[in-house]
């Protein structure tokens, strides 16, 4: 006769509701852990989509994903002339906000030169950009379909192709357009003062600058050697693909992950507090029954088992349901959620430990209960 | 089983006192109570409300701690101005069947399992426990309610289930706090007969609190409590 299960069965509806609430809470914890891991995969997906062996960025900066970088537009030609470089392309990156069916949507606009590195890798619908102006390739996540028009800056763009699988670190979806269009857009969206100065030719003009140049090398040339040659140029920083990946994970992801990590820790603490409260109240509701059990001679271990087993059942059911919930919905979320078995196992262990610790509160109270309590009123 | 010779009473209480609270609010619930009950004996405890009847049963049943005195249960000195037994609850499980004034059934177990739970705690296999519990319920004429939840039982039915629970482990000492209060005279008679039978067959000592003059004739002796004091050594009936 399992008293823990009998008691639960007697108040099944309440237990199910409690477990459901707990599973929602724990699903957020699992999701946070998934997002934490997903950041790395998101970021690397973004980098790997470009498949660059060499990144050329503004001197002293860490590349277009980490911070603003601006280099002269003719850099690409210099890069292309280096021995071992098979192809090179200029790229720009900027955030824009558009209005779609009444909602504001943030997009990352990537400018590239069609036919050169930096563009979308594979299309799931439509075609490549063929005209030099006002055509767009959108990531599937934007929800844009081939043939749709969107207004960006001063111009209307037609979606000609759809790609998939790439988001920015902040979770924004990406659209690709030609470098020229992107530069024009940067200029259009710049503060008006900058624009006026640019028009007077005082500073950078609209077409002079790009954010980075990416290059692909022939397979028999070590990227490090080519990078070494380019590092002699002033005002430019050169990163190999590997360096860029390491940088990305170290700086950008670290910064973002710290926030998510903090959330994760706080959520875990909140969950622990809530689980403790639930378990404590569950025990307190049973004080009279526990006193009765003591009256009829039940040993402490029976009473401890009653409380601890219920705590574990709740923890296990809540966690499994929460994890399944995340698993079912992870593809409908804007961010990549990566559920590593080892992470799930760690969190599961953590939840069990929390449940055990939390049930100790109830156990302590239960063991102190005077059996005579059962005889009062 | 403890070394219990026929001459040694199953329940022996000497100079037992219990007070609640201190100073102005002090209540002397028991004053210097001495009582002994032999195996096979059914004794009644009589007295006005607040005279200390429940307190005496609870003290013998080790549910409340006496203030001073001496107690021997089934050959084992359990109290000598302090508890001597290491595991009172285990002693209670083994030796004492308690029928409480409030019946205290576990709300999450049905009638049968409320009885079977003490057998379960004592390590009796489930099948045997259920069989014995159902037999007891049948005997107490609540067999037809064996699958009912405590909340669905009438006061009298609940009390009989509680009696079955107290008897399930075949304890040698049965303490009953108004076991027939919620029963009609026919069923009260059945319960008293059962207690009598138990006392004789299992050589058990039974102490029952009662207000019910219809069942006075079922007792071997009756003790009167007044203001926590026992009037005499018990009227021989
Ligand atoms: N836990 C307690 N704290 C304080 N006083 C108590 C407590 N339990 C009992 N008393 C007091 O001790 C006295 C004896 O109480 P007891 O319950 O033994 O009476 P009783 O004879 O069983 O009465 P009844 O017939 O009403 O059940 C009463 O005055 C009661 O108020
Ligand atoms: Mg009483």
pLDDT, tens only, A245-277: 888 777 767 777 788 888 888 988 998 999 999
- Give chain B positions within 8 Å (CB) of A299: 87, 89-90, 121
Q: Atom 12 of ligand 1 has which residue's CA nearest to it?
A: B29
* Cα nearest neighbour of B130 on chain A: A1
Instruction: Measure CA B11 to chain center.
Output: 12
pLDDT computed for residue A62 by the predictor: 72
* Cα nearest neighbour of A298 on chain B: B121
pLDDT of B108-129, one tens digit each? Answer: 999 999 999 999 999 999 999 9
pLDDT of A228-245, one tens digit each? Answer: 888 888 888 898 888 888
- Chain B interface, best mutation among A296, A307, A309, A377, by max B CB count within 10 A: A296
Query: Once rounded to an integer, what is the mean pLDDT over residues B81-91?
Result: 88
Average pLDDT, rounded, for chain A: 86
pLDDT computed for residue A209 by the predictor: 85
Please state, as a whole number, how many other Cβ atoms lie within 10 Å of the Cβ of residue B154.
Answer: 12
Q: Does residue B131 sit in helix, strand or coil?
A: helix
pLDDT computed for residue A206 by the predictor: 47
Ligand 1 nearest-atom number relative to CA B18: 12
Please state, as a whole number, how many other Cβ atoms lie within 10 Å of the Cβ of residue A297.
Answer: 26
Domain range list for chain A: 3-42+255-375, 60-234
Q: Contact, B90 vs B119, CB < 8 A? A: no
pLDDT computed for residue B176 by the predictor: 92
Task: List the beta bridge partners of residue B223.
Answer: B45
Distance from CA of A353 to the nearest CA of B (A): 28
Query: Once rounded to an integer, what is the mean pLDDT over residues B145-150?
Result: 96
pLDDT of A111-153, one tens digit each? Answer: 999 989 888 888 899 999 998 889 999 988 888 899 999 988 8
pLDDT computed for residue B188 by the predictor: 86
Sign of the Cα torsion A111, A113, A118, A119 reads positive
Strands A85-100 and A212-217: antiparallel
pLDDT computed for residue A300 by the predictor: 93
pLDDT of B38-77, one tens digit each? Answer: 999 999 999 999 999 999 999 999 889 999 999 999 999 9
pLDDT computed for residue A195 by the predictor: 64
pLDDT classification of B8: cutoffs 50, 70, 90: confident
Classify residue B52 as left (phi > 0), alpha (psi -120 to 50) or beta.
left
Q: List, for chain A, all residue ranges whose pLDDT scores fall below the cut of 70.
A: 66, 169, 193-207, 252, 377
Distance from CA of A252 to the nearest CA of B (A): 56
pLDDT computed for residue A201 by the predictor: 58
End-to-end CA distance of chain A: 28
Distance from CA of B113 to the nearest CA of A (A): 8
pLDDT computed for residue B5 by the predictor: 52
Query: Once rounded to an integer, what is the mean pLDDT over residues B135-145?
Result: 93
Hey, are the CB atoms on A298 and B121 less than 8 Å from each other?
yes
pLDDT computed for residue A193 by the predictor: 64
Predicted TM-score (pTM) of this structure: 0.75
B148 vs A: CB within 8 A? no
């Amino acid at each position: 006769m399992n008293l823990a299960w009998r008691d639960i069965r007697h108040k099944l509806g309440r237990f199910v509701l409690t477990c459901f609430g707990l599973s929602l809470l724990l699903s957020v914890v699992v999701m946070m852990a998934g997002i934490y891991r997903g950041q790395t995969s998101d970021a690397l997906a973004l980098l790997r989509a470009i498949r660059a062996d060499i990144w050329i960025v503004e001197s002293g900066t860490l590349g277009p994903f980490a911070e603003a970088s601006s280099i002269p537009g003719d850099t690409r030609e210099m890069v292309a002339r280096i021995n071992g470089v098979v192809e090179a392309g200029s790229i720009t990156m900027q955030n824009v906000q558009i209005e779609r069916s009444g909602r504001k949507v943030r997009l990352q606009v990537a400018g590239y030169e069609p036919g050169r590195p930096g563009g979308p890798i594979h299309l799931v619908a439509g075609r490549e950009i063929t005209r030099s102006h006002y055509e767009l390739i959108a990531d599937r996540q934007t929800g844009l379909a081939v043939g749709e028009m969107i207004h960006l800056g001063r111009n209307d763009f037609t979606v000609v192709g759809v790609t998939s699988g790439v988001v920015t670190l902040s979770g924004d979806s990406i659209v690709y357009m030609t470098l020229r269009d992107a530069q024009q857009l940067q200029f259009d969206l710049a503060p008006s003062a900058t624009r006026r100065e640019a028009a007077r030719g005082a500073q950078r003009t609209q077409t002079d600058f790009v954010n980075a140049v990416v290059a692909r090398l022939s397979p028999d040339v070590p990227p490090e050697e080519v990078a070494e040659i380019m590092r002699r140029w002033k005002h430019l920083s050169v990163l190999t693909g590997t360096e860029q990946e390491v940088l990305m994970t170290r700086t950008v992801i670290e910064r973002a992950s710290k926030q998510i990590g903090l959330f994760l820790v706080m959520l875990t603490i909140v969950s622990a507090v809530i689980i403790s409260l639930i378990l404590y109240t569950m025990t307190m509701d049973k004080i009279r029954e526990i006193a009765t059990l003591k009256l009829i001679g039940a040993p402490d271990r029976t009473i401890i088992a009653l409380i601890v087993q219920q705590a574990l059942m709740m923890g296990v059911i809540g966690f499994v349901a929460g994890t399944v919930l995340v698993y079912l919905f992870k593809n409908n979320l804007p961010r990549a959620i990566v559920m590593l078995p080892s992470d799930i196992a760690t969190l599961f262990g953590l939840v069990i430990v929390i449940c055990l610790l939390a049930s100790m509160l109830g156990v302590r109270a239960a063991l102190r209960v005077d059996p005579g309590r059962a005889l009062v009123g | 089983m403890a070394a219990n010779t026929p001459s040694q009473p199953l329940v022996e209480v000497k100079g037992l006192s219990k007070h609640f609270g201190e100073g102005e609010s002090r209540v002397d619930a028991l004053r210097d109570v001495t009582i002994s009950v032999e195996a096979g004996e059914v004794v009644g405890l009589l007295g006005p409300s607040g005279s200390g009847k429940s307190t005496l049963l609870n003290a013998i049943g080790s549910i409340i701690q006496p203030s001073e005195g001496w107690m021997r249960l089934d050959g084992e000195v359990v109290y000598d101005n302090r508890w001597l037994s290491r595991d009172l609850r285990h002693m209670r499980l083994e030796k004492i069947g308690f029928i409480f004034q409030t019946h205290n059934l576990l709300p999450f177990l049905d009638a049968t399992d409320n009885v079977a739970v003490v057998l379960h705690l004592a390590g009796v296999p489930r099948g045997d426990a259920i069989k014995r519990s159902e037999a007891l319920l049948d005997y107490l004429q609540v067999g037809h309610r064996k699958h009912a939840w405590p909340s669905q039982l009438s006061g009298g039915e609940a009390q009989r289930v509680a009696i079955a629970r107290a008897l399930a482990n075949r304890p040698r000492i049965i303490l009953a706090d108004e076991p027939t209060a919620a029963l009609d005279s026919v069923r009260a008679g059945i319960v008293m007969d059962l207690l009598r039978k138990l006392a004789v067959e299992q050589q058990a000592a039974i102490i029952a609190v009662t207000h019910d003059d219809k069942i006075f004739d079922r007792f071997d002796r009756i003790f009167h409590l007044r203001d926590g004091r026992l009037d005499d050594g018990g009227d021989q009936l």
